[in-house]
Amino acid sequence: MKRIDAIKAVVEELDDELVICNIGFPSRELYSVKDRDANFYMLGSMGLASSIGLGLALSTKRQIVVFDGDGSLLMNLGSLVTIANQAPSNMILIVLDNASYASTGGQPSYTAGKTNLAKVAMSVGFENVFEVETVAELKKSFRSAKGKLSFILAKVEKGNADVPVIPLSPYKIKRRFMKCIKKNQSLSLDF
């Protein structure tokens, strides 16, 4: 499956989940599939999608979905250890694994070699780990991942979709994201 098709498959399953999306083409592809106030598009800080997702998951009851990449996660592998130990039940970490650094010219990553990130996740303590290769498998795993800390390794083809740069300022991305969290939190208060 193409990465943009994997993103689309997950987006079709979304309701009011908060999404943190990795830097580069994944964010651009997500924006072009479906822009939502509840999408946080990373513009820098490569590697930190899963960490931002963890901080968010520990601060709100909402379901958090993180789109990470193989190269990005390899840059911050310690994050997997922290997440597995903190184990927030409201976080799904999806790694779109194209075994390459596609945003910078397609250099191979080590997941093209001996490393399998689903096995890494399992060995550091993740209990719900999925490895999927098709849209149908991805949708199925995503549905059963809700409500418990989960790791989904989605193997995708190399290459980027032909999608434009996100025309939103960083401040705009942040403000509308935070506003949408606040709005929903005040709705869920127990009166």
20 with 40: CB under 8 angstroms?
A: yes
CB of 64 to another protein, least distance (A): 8
User: Nearest 10 degrees: CA dihedral of 125, 14, 22, 181?
Assistant: -90
Candidate segments 5-13, 55-63, 107-115, 129-137, binder of another protein by CB under 8 A: 55-63
Residue 73 touches another protein, criterion: CB under 8 A: no
Number of residues that bind another protein (CB under 8 A): 36
Nearest to 121 by CA among 113, 112, 133, 130: 130
**85 CB-side CA count, 13 A:** 7
The structure tokens 């911050």 sit at 76
- For another protein, which residue of 13, 14, 45, 160 counts as binding (CB under 8 A)? 45
Applying CB under 8 A, does 71 fall inside the site for another protein?
Answer: no
Residues that bind another protein (CB under 8 A): 20, 40, 42-60, 76, 78-79, 81-82, 86, 170-171, 173-174, 177-178, 181-182, 185
